[in-house]
Amino acid sequence: MSATDSGCSEPPGAGASPPSIKGRVVALEANFCQVQLDHPGPQGVLRLLCTRRTRLAKTGLQVSVGDRVGLEGVDWGAGRAAVASLEPRNNLLVRPAVANVTQVLVVVALVEPELDPLQLTRFLVTAEAAGVPLQLVLSKADRLNPEELAAWVERLHPWGYDPLLVSTLSGQGIAELRSRLVKSSCGGGIAVLCGPSGVGKSSLLNALIPGLELRVAAVSGRLQRGRHTTRHVELHALEAGGDLLVADTPGFNRPALPADLVQLASAFPEVRQRLQEGGCRFANCRHLEDPGCRVGRDWPRHPLYRRCLEEIEASPPLNRRSQGGTRQKGGREEPLLEGQWRQASRRQGRQELVGELSPPDPEDSAPGPP
């Protein structure tokens, strides 16, 4: 669940006279998107089913849930339109793909499936990379006794988090979670729920938003893994007429780690706290017993940090950001690969093949003058 900042510049493809009808993408389904309008249309229409103009794709622009868009070709009777322009984003989560996020809720279950510290660390690291307020939620709190719950809270405090214990069955923590959501976003914005499958994200939304009735399913009894009931990202209003939207997202069990080793270290609150007292001796310190390291190894998640670091360093260079800089393509920035990892041009390959198959020029084979 990494994030990219697109800045405040106008994206390519935006015309001089932007469409007057605007809204926010609240769901993506196949080749269509649902757009919630800023202002009601005729007969009080508030949502339109939209296609995306081909020119957006040709300029490299991908529409994501949470994007602010301009519409054209509106058919009010059929409730249809086309996305013609994309407004600048504040940020973009890559997985789950949600734009303009104001806070992230990492939801993990205490039981069924069992809480895995390494998996939780991966989710927290990718959520920290978004650079927005982060809330850790521990679901199914009714399944453990008070002593076990207190042990988990005490274990997670040194990590730098104040976890909220919730239960959709008993109602524990639901009111507190709703209050934290509204307070953190000042009553507006987009909050994203992310976490493994089966931890109860959809059940949690059903408890937060009465009448929502999202589909839920029990955890697999044999594998103790969650069943994928949520198939796409969709935004739901926390309160009727409110500006705070909450995203229900498909679960995934292995979020990707950042490719940058410096970004990995900064995603651990324990490391950030220790570096506030002063930097390490070397700027490229890996915080693994390096000379002059201020972080050290006497913190609870150091073994988990080491495993994440070793995984990043062992990843193939093709999947990591190269040292060759970046280039602009279709309004987005992408890394330049080193020469040995670049794919050969298909056009050049066809030209070379045609040259090899072409018959030799007779003049080239003719004997020279005596």
Kindly report, residue by residue over 15-57, the tens digit of the pLDDT: 444 567 999 999 988 788 999 999 999 988 999 999 988 777 7
CATH number, domain with residue 184: 3.40.50.300
* 277 lies in the same domain as 304: yes
> Considering the domain boundaries, does residue 186 fall inside one?
yes
State both tokens at 302.
């150091």
**Cβ atoms 41, 90 nearer than 8 A:** no
**Cβ atoms 230, 247 nearer than 8 A:** no
The pLDDT tens digits of the residues spanning 186-226 come to 767 999 998 888 888 888 988 998 878 776 645 444 444 44
* 185 lies in the same domain as 160: yes
- What is the distance between the alpha carbons of residues 305 and 125, in angstroms, rounded to a whole number? 10
Cβ count near 37 (within 10 Å):
17
* 168 lies in the same domain as 110: yes
Q: Directed axis angle between helix 174-184 and helix 201-208, to 10°?
A: 80
In this prediction the pTM is: 0.74
Close Cβ partners of 239 (under 8 Å, ≥ 6 residues apart): none
Q: Domain range for residue 119? A: 98-248
State both tokens at 24.
């926010």
Which has the higher per-residue pLDDT, 324 or 198?
A: 198
Q: Directed axis angle between helix 117-128 and helix 302-314, to 10°?
A: 70
pLDDT at res. 369: 54
* Interstrand relation of 164-165 and 134-139 (parallel, antiparallel or unpaired): parallel
If 0-12 CB within 10 Å is exposed, 13-18 middle and 19+ buried, where does residue 257 land? Answer: buried
Secondary structure letter of residue 213 according to DSSP: -
* 117 lies in the same domain as 72: no
* Interstrand relation of 68-75 and 21-29 (parallel, antiparallel or unpaired): antiparallel
